[in-house]
Structure 1
């Protein structure tokens, strides 16, 4: 197909066509993510989506009419915010209460320390730009690709920076998923199964990777690990609100005398995330309906990640160089050793 927009094509039609195209590509991604080998690697449809999107965007972009880029961009930005809001349906207050104070302390300690230390090391030591450092740190600290997407929306960062951050989640999250259970079974990690579940939930990057690693132990460990992980996800809301306040303050400090103070960039999708978490906690949605809504939300997030990948260029990613990998490796060590110490102390 030609890259030129056909005569008479309307922007609205181009947007719809672009969204439908991403939807079809995302449907194929979901099928690929369901392959046993891909599932064994703990790669969620979100991660597979950005990889497939990047391959298409860099090698086959010429097969898509240029006008459809409007729909691709809408999916990567607007649909992303909607999907992150609905992601709150995966969390409930009952889950957080079930793990008690130790699980909450571990989740909070890991998220805050990794996010702030990672941002500081990235900007001050490795001389990365603020957005790249913060996106990489958020992916390690909170919930992998979903956190990177949420922070990207608030920071309004370019797609290639998010893609680089997601790549580090894939690499070090996969390493964690295989190394931690093996080390535990060899007796190198001195924890009981419940404490080890807290360790996995508090240190492994992606939700799918947490489930994949914990399932190598037993069902009880998997349950504890998943709850601790979802508690980390729940911390996404207050952190995004604080990030919005910080961005407003930073922008205000750079204003010349007489300039209007910028509005607070409220992450409304984070507010809806909290609202849907409370709805899920109330148990008012029938189980079958809830299961369907969660599946649709995963598909919407997969569409957003696929669109993000289509907009990403390898040349832009190469500009980050080895410094992003260095930051992700440092955060991997902080998660491993700091997380173990924290679990030993509070669990």
Structure 2
């Protein structure tokens, strides 16, 4: 009986540090709205780790924070999805969005392999670019099992190239005469983070913003089947390892993916009041920020720097690929 309290006591220093990091990330986001809370949390964790400000006694709590809050945050992400709004986009647009996601993921993984980037890192970059930025990286890592440097690289890339897209895509949409509706669809289908989508589409007007958010959340829905595919990949790769490792193979469908789909069904049912959805959105941000802050404290910058320019080139190529492909597809079906 005495072991149980002692186990949780060991987690308290890391939990307290995580709570402070999340609070700081939220404050930074409030003062600099273009800096997403998730990215701010990851960066703050990395800064503390690489300046020697993370005590050893905090490590157990930080390790626990990487998984449990992260999975709970991904479940709550489903509350923001409105399945009826997604279906209202129509079959051709949904096909372009889904096709662009799948093609981008596959192309990124294949190109990353050609460039000599490790399987975990290239899959996390592919997930972040093709689905929904830092949230997708965090979710995919649960199946892929990359290290903290892999996560930091992928999140950093979707941050950089998603930020570049904020002024570029609205300007290009206006230049080639897409109109606000089509511009919003294009932004939602190709920009990485939800916050980046909102910033980019907002510059194109209210119509573009409304459409862009729905399209973006449609990509988030596809996070669930992607997790199943990645889980199957990891099960297959671990089956080739020694017997003691195969006993711990991850489930084909992680429980939090089921929770994500259930939350999406509840969120789109209209049964929850608006206040509950708002609270769920806040909790989602807090929990995902907690997980990413904890991940950040495991980032070792000298190791990360050794990765060189190849991941940067892969992120640029993947971001350009999804923007070009979805623009062509949406223009064709419009």
TM-score, with normalisation over the residues of structure 1? Answer: 0.90
- Report SS of the residue matched to 1:220: helix
CA shift in 2, pair 1:211/1:260, >3 Å: closer
Say whether 1:270 aligns with 2:263: no
- Check conservation: 2:143, 2:234, Cα contact below 8 A: no
- Report SS of the residue matched to 2:90: helix
| Cα RMSD, aligned residues only | 1.9
- Report SS of the residue matched to 2:239: helix
Provide the rounded CA distance (Å) in 2 between the counterparts of 1:277 and 1:126. 37
Matching residue within 16, 19, 34 for 1:23: 19
Query: In structure 1, what is the equivalent of residue 205 of structure 2?
Result: 218
Provide the rounded CA distance (Å) in 2 between the counterparts of 1:105 and 1:342. 9
Query: In structure 2, what is the equivalent of residue 152 of structure 1?
Result: 141
Matching residue within 55, 62, 81 for 1:72: 62
| Structure 1 residue 58, shift from structure 2 partner | 0.7
Provide the rounded CA distance (Å) in 2 between the counterparts of 1:238 and 1:274. 10
Query: In structure 2, what is the equivalent of residue 173 of structure 1?
Result: 162
Provide the rounded CA distance (Å) in 1 between the counterparts of 2:201 and 2:14. 39
Farther-moved stretch of structure 1 (191-200 vs 11-20): 11-20
- Check conservation: 1:197, 1:214, Cα contact below 8 A: yes
Matching residue within 82, 94, 118 for 1:104: 94
| Structure 1 residue 11, shift from structure 2 partner | 4.0
- Check conservation: 2:101, 2:322, Cα contact below 8 A: no
Matching residue within 92, 104, 107 for 1:117: 107
Provide the rounded CA distance (Å) in 1 between the counterparts of 2:241 and 2:20. 44
- Check conservation: 2:83, 2:265, Cα contact below 8 A: yes
Query: In structure 1, what is the equivalent of residue 129 of structure 2?
Result: 140
TM-score, with normalisation over the residues of structure 2? Answer: 0.93
Query: In structure 1, what is the equivalent of residue 153 of structure 2?
Result: 164
Q: Deviations over 1:118-174 (max 9, x none)?
A: 001101x10111000000111100000000000011112111100000000111000
Farther-moved stretch of structure 1 (237-246 vs 9-18): 9-18
Q: Deviations over 1:255-303 (max 9, x none)?
A: 78xx879564432111110010001111211211221121011111111
Alignment of 1:181-196 (within 5 A): 181-185=170-174, 187=175, 189-196=176-183
CA shift in 2, pair 1:195/1:263, >3 Å: closer
Matching residue within 51, 57, 62 for 1:59: 51
- Check conservation: 1:241, 1:266, Cα contact below 8 A: yes
Provide the rounded CA distance (Å) in 2 between the counterparts of 1:86 and 1:111. 22
Provide the rounded CA distance (Å) in 2 between the counterparts of 1:159 and 1:261. 21
- Check conservation: 1:115, 1:138, Cα contact below 8 A: yes
Provide the rounded CA distance (Å) in 2 between the counterparts of 1:74 and 1:52. 18
- Report SS of the residue matched to 1:137: helix
- Check conservation: 1:11, 1:67, Cα contact below 8 A: no
Query: In structure 2, what is the equivalent of residue 198 of structure 1?
Result: 185
Provide the rounded CA distance (Å) in 1 between the counterparts of 2:277 and 2:324. 37
- Check conservation: 2:39, 2:159, Cα contact below 8 A: yes
Provide the rounded CA distance (Å) in 2 between the counterparts of 1:65 and 1:222. 44
Provide the rounded CA distance (Å) in 2 between the counterparts of 1:308 and 1:285. 32
